[in-house]
Amino acid sequence: MRFFYAVVLFAVSLALFAGSLVIRNFFSAPDTLTQTISLKGDAPVTIIDAKELRRVAGTETIVASTGDATADGEPLPVTIAWGRTADVTAWVGSAGYQFITVDKATGKLTESPVSGLEPAVPSPAGSDLWVEEWTGDGTSSADLALRKGHSIIIATNGTESAPKELTVIWNLEVDRTIPTILLYLAGLTGLAGIGAFVWGLWRERRQRRHRQGRMPKAPRPPRWRPKRPGFLGGGREPRRRGRRMAGMVAIGLVPALLVGCASGSSVEPTPTPVATGNLPFVAVTNQQFDRILGTIVGTLEAADAKGAENIAASRLQGAALRFRAATYRVKAANKKLGTLFQIPNGTVSLMLPQQTEGWPRSVFAIIDDTTSESAPSVAIVMTQDGPRSNYHVDYTFALEPGVVIPEVPSAEYGTAVLAGDTELLSSTPAQVAEQYADLLINGDASAFASLFEHDTLQEQIGAAAKKQRIADMKGSMKFSWTDSMTEDVPVVFATSDAGALVSLTLNEAETVRPARGGSAISTEGAVKILSGRPSSLRGITANYQYQLLLHVPAIGSSEKIRLLGYSYTLVSAQEYR
């Protein structure tokens, strides 16, 4: 009988555990809802709006398959991607597509064909418009949890029809309160059974010691103690009443604790709500930019390894491409010459997208190199010309030491990109280029010296550095410099102080001629490689270009123009004419 209670408790625990499993596996609703549709349309694209999927649940898995369809004997690629609905619609353009709707009650998928003028589209794989993308051969799957305002695009190579087999698996929220309570009760009852079993063993061993001849202790005489009154009266009865009340409280707390444990286990974590009501449309999101940056860095690494300008051109344009192409030509002739400007795939400390729904759209960003503490932070400006084209980097800058970036709007709100000839600033971009060029040649004697703060570029190539170079030649050569703005269109991002971040390119033509007739100018290094002439009787003109990032204050401001970052290289050289 000593172990009777332990056996009963163990039996109850097993019964509760079995009941929990039976209810969970046989009487609870399923965790998922699966719906499959075979598409009949031949459009190259299938679109599913996130609000349609959320009619059933908030998270789902999408599987798309082409079945036995192949191209030249090879399985067709299948791409599943998602992005903002406006971007997806812009990418599809005038092409036809299948639009999938969802019945809220049954989850049944229905195909609604939308006719279009374009019979084919480009391959969606690798587009910068997508926030995430999955591509496979013949089939592809994606786990998603999208909110309103996003859409899913599914396609093959853009020429063939979209995948015919489409399956959506929703993850449903099922109430597991009852089986969870039973499971906790089973555990507590099992622990009570273990306690009863240990208590029985202890009682058995104690009585066994008495049976082995242990003498009992002699009885003690009664001791008289005066009675002391209790809190609500004296005697033993109040103490008994206190024990009964404590026991009742303990018994009452057990169900409460069980309910607390059960309810705590059944509550699903609630994501922090994201305010999307009045946020404007921006060029890219943070997640989207991280993906684009990784692709750009990977492409440039491949281009640098081969010195391939055509590969670099898939992600660079304008001054950024000219700089790299010139360095490739120099390094091809002499690997020890030329330094390639590196864009790190590091921490994005600032991302400022343009506030726009149209194209072209631009983005400014500052990236910190996490691999080297001594490396300067890098700023880039990139532009997307249309929804079906990818972003290209226009400008690259190494930031000045200790630079202070003016206050700008957050990445969620973005900013306006002003026209290249805007007159809302203390100087237009063209005027800034002309004024800074004059400052580099004339230094403090420039009429515009008071408009600019001092910077390290002036120290390297400014008027003082030019005078020193002339002095080093000791009159054997004649130097002249001509600075002008290139044909690159300035990109102007408005800042919070009504000023702007202005990106532009300045060309400085340095001409070196013999000081005396009959003398020749000898060339070396990159000048020799790019000019193709080891010497010249006429002289050599070398074209250095400078990508400049400046903060230009608002019109009427007394603040000076500041150079925030720059990069430069020799882009060409030729004999003087």
**Boundaries of every domain in the chain:** 32-171, 286-575
Contacts of 434 (CB under 8 A, 6+ apart): 485
Residue 534, φ and ψ in degrees, nearest 5 = -75, -25
Q: Which H or E run contains 5?
A: helix 4-22
Contact 501, 564 (CB under 8 A): yes
- Tell me which of 156-165, 336-345, 510-519 is least confident: 510-519
* pLDDT at position 182 over 80: no
Contact 54, 144 (CB under 8 A): no
pLDDT category, 433, cuts 50, 70, 90? very high
pLDDT at residue 350 is higher than 60? yes
CA distance 289 to 365: 9
For residue 305, give the H/E element and its range.
Answer: helix 286-306
How confident is the prediction for the chain on average, in pLDDT? 86
- Indicate if the pLDDT at residue 415 is higher than 50: yes
Q: Percent of the chain scored above 90 by pLDDT?
A: 68
User: Is the bond leading into 222 cis (omega within 30 degrees of zero)?
Assistant: no
Identify the residue with better confidence: 30 or 449: 449
pLDDT for 186 equals 80
pLDDT at 201 over 90: no
Spatial CB neighbours of 334, under 8 Å, sequence gap ≥ 6: 525, 529
Question: Mean pLDDT, to the nearest integer, of 410-434?
Answer: 95
HSE (CB half, 13 Å, CA atoms) of 310? 0
| pLDDT given for residue 68 in this prediction | 78
Tally the C-alpha atoms within 13 A of residue 33's C-alpha that lie toward its C-beta: 20
| pLDDT of the residue at 249 | 37
Under CATH, which architecture does the 32-171 domain have? Sandwich (2.60)
pLDDT, position 1? 57
pLDDT at 244: 47
**Which residues does 546 contact at the CB level (< 8 Å), separation at least 6?**
457, 505, 506, 507, 508, 566, 567, 568
Q: Residue 151 in contact with residue 88, Cβ under 8 Å?
A: yes
Q: Which of 15-24, 182-191, 238-247, 307-316 has the lowest mean pLDDT?
A: 238-247
pLDDT digits (tens, 9 = 90+) for 436-482: 999 999 999 999 999 999 999 999 999 999 999 999 988 889 999 99
Confidence check: pLDDT of 231 > 70: no
Q: Where are the beta strands (DSSP E) in 337-386?
A: 347-353, 361-368, 378-384
Region class of 337: left (phi > 0), else alpha (psi between -120 and 50), else beta: beta
Q: Is the pLDDT of residue 22 over 90?
A: no
pLDDT for 237 beyond 60: no
CB atoms within 10 A of CB 210: 10
Q: For residue 252, what pLDDT band results from cuts at 50, 70 and 90?
A: very low
Banded pLDDT at 488 (limits 50, 70, 90): very high
Q: Please give the helix or strand (H or E) that residue 61 lies within, else none.
A: strand 60-65
Distance from C-alpha of 55 to C-alpha of 18, rounded to nearest angstrom: 35
The pLDDT tens digits of the residues spanning 271-329 come to 333 344 568 999 999 999 999 999 999 999 999 999 999 999 999 999 999 999 999 99
Q: Are strands 97-102 and 45-49 parallel, antiparallel or unpaired?
A: parallel
| Tokens, residue 229 | 């009154």
| Letter string b/e over residues 262-271, b meaning 16 or more CB atoms within 10 A of that residue's CB | beeebeeeee
82 vs 263 pLDDT, higher one: 82
**Arithmetic mean of pLDDT, 34-40:** 94
Burial readout 293-329 (b: 16 or more C-beta within 10 A, e: otherwise)? bebbbebbeebbeebebebbebbbbbbbbbbbbbbbb
The Cα–Cα gap between 68 and 199 comes to 69
Instruction: Name which of 116-120, 151-155, 221-225, 522-526 the model is least confident about.
Output: 221-225
Check residue 260 and give its pLDDT.
Answer: 38
Give the pLDDT band of residue 256 (cuts 50, 70, 90). Answer: very low
pLDDT value at residue 160 = 93
Average pLDDT on 559-565 reads 97
- Among candidate residues 410, 427, 392, 90, the one with its CA nearest the CA of residue 282: 410
For the CA atoms of 472, 474, 475, 480, the dihedral, rounded to the nearest 10 degrees, stands at: 10
26 has pLDDT over 90 = no
pTM for the model? 0.80
Does 251 have pLDDT greater than 50?
no
